[in-house]
Structure 1
């Protein structure tokens, strides 16, 4: 996950369906994205360039000018996500196992480039966007990944593997459906409010997302009514922001402008991002931040209308 200065803009080419989607195996509506500079990492939503080294020339859709945003496909760029644990039980600690396969050769990928200290980042989110986990699994020598996970609610989930194969010019985000068994009660997407509470911390959202237009967004962290000015680096930055679009769970993984050690970025209370919403609609934002040795996640619902329209956000938050 290379630190980028901003998410690049999406271009809507296929209409995205908003509204809650439940269950496993439901279809998703792809959208297209403008090409982004190679130095930026926005959920790998830009047009894919041919990877260097092994598999060059095998990239799918090489003749297309536009690409599908991250997480909507289980296979892309000559790589496929094989989720070997497609079903687990709610409220049970179970091992989630998967592998990344080089298509055409059927071999597990065993060489990755580290991004923010990790070879692969795994995001697990419920289809109703009320449950979220940011995990860092362990890779065995044969290329099989595994991580323990416990999910509180039954229903349909989406698993996102965010990684960069060794020698590739750009990273990938592949997605697969996960079924969580148990009594399932659908939940509505949380409403919008500009503050979130988690473990005694208050996180406020300033700024607004605008469809098709870059905008500055700042998340401010407070504890007991006082600004937190000593946020700790987490995977090389003071905050990580993941955005998932309601309806199809299109994936954006973005990082703040600046970071520890650059001589200008302060460790709080604000963590700023330059972001662009691909279209009007509802999004769920998850901010990971570290303080006093603990990583916490504040969650917001953001709604965008026409370009320049108002944006709001919602409190429910989850802790790793």
Structure 2
């Protein structure tokens, strides 16, 4: 058969096939129509509040570091501004926990931590010396309440040049030691709920019962999620002088952890005129279907990269 004959036969075959298909379609009927799509607003899951510190800009305010790159040194003068939605520096703040602004600086592997209080000039620039003797990538958090606004925690990256001696996250442990003091962590944190924890301070095996107020409380707690350095909501229970809250040995906090995984806790407490910081790794477990707390995911991210307000 020549090429023309082959083509004609092929065409007739196609006609036959399509005819059979049409007949079968008529017997079976049209394909069921796909369910009508719901309005995208109806289908969307309810919005949840992001933890703090994940964004440099939120609610029209921006954390702007003057020098986001610097060299390693023990005393590095660091300046920044909080800009409003017009780009103008904010100069008026609401005092919160004895300060207009709290600055938290942590290396991304959690091996270096500082909680400091910068000085504000009339032009709206904050300045503070930082100990950046250990090179690496840092996350800088500004925790503040602008006049007429709500509390915010903004975060920005600070890069410190030099050899980066990256450290593994310490294993979870119920106690931490600092300068002869032992701090014990007690309580279970459940993701997605307000959980109460207590940190008790002792020295030489004896409870410390004369802690001194620091930032309006007997302790200040910062909690960071290891996977992305999200800055969590942490609130102290009670306050000095309220007639109820004892000056130690226990300091109670309410912690809101948005997910299971590893967290790093930094407790600042003051005794005999000196502020010290106790550090913990806390593993938050995921409850099972019955609500019983199970182990935290073993494959949780550990890249210490980039939900937030802690006191």
Moved more, 139-148 or 249-258: 249-258
**1:65 Cα deviation (Å)?**
4.1
Aligned match of 1:206 in 186, 206, 209? 186
The one of 61, 71, 75 equivalent to 2:53 is 71
TM-score norm. by structure 2 comes to 0.76
Q: Which sections of structure 1, spanning at least 5 residues, go unmatched?
A: 1-63, 312-320
Q: 2:145 aligns with which of 164, 169, 173?
A: 164
Equivalent pairs, count: 246
Please report how far the alpha carbon of residue 192 of structure 1 lies from its aligned counterpart in structure 2 after TM superposition: 1.2
Residue 303 of structure 1, CA deviation:
0.8
Q: 5 Å matches for 1:1-320?
A: 65-103=47-85, 105-168=86-149, 170-307=150-287, 308-309=293-294
Q: After the TM superposition, list the runs of 4 or more consecutive aligned residues in structure 1 that deviate by more than 4 angstroms.
A: none
| Structure 1 CA distance for aligned equivalents of residues 187 and 294 of structure 2 | 11
Q: Deviation per CA, 1:226-256, whole angstroms, max 9, x where unpaired?
A: 1000000011100111100012110025232
Query: 1 CA distance for matches of 2:283 and 2:139?
Result: 21
Deviation at 1:306, TM superposition (A): 1.3
CA displacement, residues 157-206 of structure 1 (integer Å, 9 cap, x when unaligned) = 000000000011x2110000000111112211111111101011000111
- Verify the 8 A CA contact 2:233 2:256 in the aligned structure 1: no
Whole-angstrom CA distance in 2 between matches of 1:250 and 1:153: 22
Q: Cα–Cα, structure 1 residues 280 and 218, in superposed 2: closer, same or farther, change >3 Å?
A: same
Tell me if structure 2 keeps the 8 A contact 1:231–1:267: yes
Gaps of 5+ in 2: 1-45, 288-292, 297-311
Query: With structure 1 as the length reference, what TM-score do the two structures score?
Result: 0.74
Cα distance in 2 for residues equivalent to 1:250 and 1:77: 17
For residues 267 and 309 of structure 1, the distance between their equivalents in structure 2, rounded to whole angstroms, comes to 34
The 8 Å contact of residues 76 and 131 in structure 2, kept in 1 or not, is answered as: yes
RMSD value over aligned CA atoms?
Answer: 1.5
Shift of residue 310 of structure 1? 6.3
- Computing the radius of gyration over CA atoms, which structure comes out larger, 1 or 2? 2
